[in-house]
A = this chain, B = another copy of it.
Amino acid sequence: MIKTDISDLHKDIDNYKDKEIIIAGWVKSCRGNGNFGFLNLNDGTSFKGVQIVFSRDKILNYDSVEKLNTGSAIMCKGYIVLTPENKQPFEINATEITIISATDNEYPLQKKKHSLEFLREIAYLRPRTNLFNAVFRVRSELAFLLHEFFNKKGFVYVHTPIITSSDCEGGSELFRVTTQNIYDEFKKFEPKNELFGKKTYLTPTGQLEGEACAAAFGKIYTFGPTFRAENSNTNRHLNEFWHLEPEVSFMDLEGLMELEEEMMKYIISGIMKKCPDEMNFFNTFVDKELFNRLNNVIDNDFARITYTEAIELLKKNNNNFVYPVEWGTDIQTEHERYLSEVIFKRPVFVTDYPKDMKAFYMKINDDNKTVRGCDLLFPGIGEVTGGSERETDYKKLQTIMKEKHLKEEDYWWYMNLRKFGSVQHSGFGLGFERILMYITGITNIRDVILFPRTPNNCEY
């Protein structure tokens, strides 16, 4: 007889009615009265566990089972009994329980509720708790939904490099990669002695390589880890995070915004459908406004407004902002939320920012003051994606790079793309952990990635 996954029981319990099965998993809780007990078991295949009923007259090791601690591993043979009148629609009447390994009081996860701070200290165990089980199961399904969305649309998934020699953000916030024994020797280290024979870094973005690929495949996306060495200890920053970066040839900013809106609706409605138990858990125990916020995204057309128009609207409320705005100032989180929550009450794209506020690669508008960028703002969180049409004109790119003190030779191949069949193209970036926070209601980014990397924190 083969072990049945608990997920299979939940999927189609009628199929198992009165049948004998074997399950195996870890004890969530166990209590008994000396003759008769209940054991809640989870094998990780489903957010929901199962209730096992065990009694002294049916199993040989009743006393050992009754004493089982949270986290112990068991195998159980038993019969499925449907209990439509109860909270759980079925339970298992145990005929045999084998204790695979019993935990003792040293086991850090007990039945009681633990703080998120405590659980962060034991990142290798926290996926066993209900909350993190739900978070990381949603993370997995969300990743799949993104792959599915872009695959269906004919996008090519490209793996851009992690180790890079492009110092494309000035180097100050990049991790360096080295093969030299930097802590063991007292000497001047030379790039020429590296395995790669040069300075290398951990990439902060796959966009530039992604643009090269979009010039070959038309529609591409990257999805992988990227890195920022910044010393920011906030609830919203990680030094290592997963990044989605689609890039599409022959697409203007309008097309890009349509693509983003379609993707957001696809993944959010998809996750509500694929993970109902996990999402209900979040809506009940993490944030009671969650479903309202998510439905707001699914049900509404996203608004669109230019930066210039947004500033006009925001200025009327300058008295109430910590940072009053005028044309040329950054739109900060308080303004983003005011726009999306108070003015539009739905997601809103802000477009055409002053060129000084944005990266060199954004397409310059005819006014020579603004660029064809778009940030997507969500009620409740602010910016979730940043995108733009890219500058495709070689000369204009040269000019802006000079203005921004970037060296052309560092970007030789990127510049060449503007010589070799250059076409209109656009792309955006989505921080995967940021959208996961939005979808789960979790407010600390450390709690949506398995092993977070933040300043002074790199366990495992």
- Interface set of A (CB-CB < 8 Å, partner B): 3, 5, 7, 24-27, 43-45, 71-73, 75, 100-101, 103, 106-108, 124-125, 127-128, 132-133, 136-137, 139-141, 143-144, 147, 151, 154, 156-166, 175-180, 182-183, 186-191, 195-200, 202, 208-209, 212-219, 224-225, 227, 229, 231, 239-240, 242, 249-250, 392, 413, 416-417, 419-424, 449-451, 453, 455-460
> Which residue of the partner chain B has the closest CB to A193?
B183
Partner of A128 from the list B128, B216, B224, B413 (CB cut-off 8 Å) is: B216
Offer 25 A-B interface pairs, CB within 8 angstroms, sorted by A: A24-B250, A26-B215, A43-B249, A103-B421, A106-B419, A107-B421, A108-B420, A124-B212, A124-B417, A133-B217, A136-B216, A143-B147, A143-B157, A160-B451, A162-B227, A163-B202, A176-B180, A176-B182, A177-B177, A178-B182, A183-B188, A197-B458, A213-B450, A224-B225, A225-B225
> Which residue of the partner chain B has the closest CB to A432?
B159
Taken together as a complex, chains A and B put the C-alpha atoms of A25 and B26 apart, in Å, by: 56
> Which residue of the partner chain B has the closest CB to A241?
B159
**Contact between chains at A217 and B162 (CB < 8 Å):** no
Taken together as a complex, chains A and B put the C-alpha atoms of A100 and B392 apart, in Å, by: 11
- Which residues of chain B are near A165, meaning CB under 8 Å? 458-460
> Which residue of the partner chain B has the closest CB to A208?
B460
> Which residue of the partner chain B has the closest CB to A128?
B216
- Which residues of chain B are near A177, meaning CB under 8 Å? 175-177, 202
CB distance from A196 to the nearest CB of B (A): 4
**Contact between chains at B423 and A163 (CB < 8 Å):** no
Taken together as a complex, chains A and B put the C-alpha atoms of A232 and B18 apart, in Å, by: 60
**Contact between chains at B453 and A240 (CB < 8 Å):** no
Taken together as a complex, chains A and B put the C-alpha atoms of A224 and B159 apart, in Å, by: 9
A-B contact sample (16 more), CB < 8 A, given A44-B219, A176-B177: A44-B218, A100-B423, A124-B413, A136-B213, A140-B151, A144-B157, A160-B450, A161-B240, A161-B451, A162-B225, A163-B202, A163-B240, A182-B189, A183-B191, A186-B187, A208-B460
Partner of A162 from the list B7, B24, B125, B240 (CB cut-off 8 Å) is: B240
**Contact between chains at A460 and B186 (CB < 8 Å):** no
- Which residues of chain B are near A229, meaning CB under 8 Å? 179, 195
**Contact between chains at B450 and A158 (CB < 8 Å):** yes
**Contact between chains at B43 and A250 (CB < 8 Å):** yes
CB distance from A258 to the nearest CB of B (A): 11
Select the residue from A103, A166, A423, A424 with max chain B CB neighbours within 10 A: A423
- Which residues of chain B are near A164, meaning CB under 8 Å? 458, 460
- Which residues of chain B are near A133, meaning CB under 8 Å? 216-217
**Contact between chains at B239 and A163 (CB < 8 Å):** yes
> Which residue of the partner chain B has the closest CB to A188?
B186
- Which residues of chain B are near A100, meaning CB under 8 Å? 421-424
CB distance from A110 to the nearest CB of B (A): 12
Q: Decide yes or no: A140 and B156 within 8 Å by CB, A133-B216, A218-B5 being known contacts.
A: yes
Taken together as a complex, chains A and B put the C-alpha atoms of A209 and B458 apart, in Å, by: 13
Select the residue from A165, A183, A186, A197 with max chain B CB neighbours within 10 A: A183
> Which residue of the partner chain B has the closest CB to A393?
B101
CB distance from A434 to the nearest CB of B (A): 14
Q: Decide yes or no: A157 and B179 within 8 Å by CB, A125-B420, A419-B106, A423-B101 being known contacts.
A: no
**Contact between chains at A161 and B420 (CB < 8 Å):** no
**Contact between chains at B175 and A176 (CB < 8 Å):** no
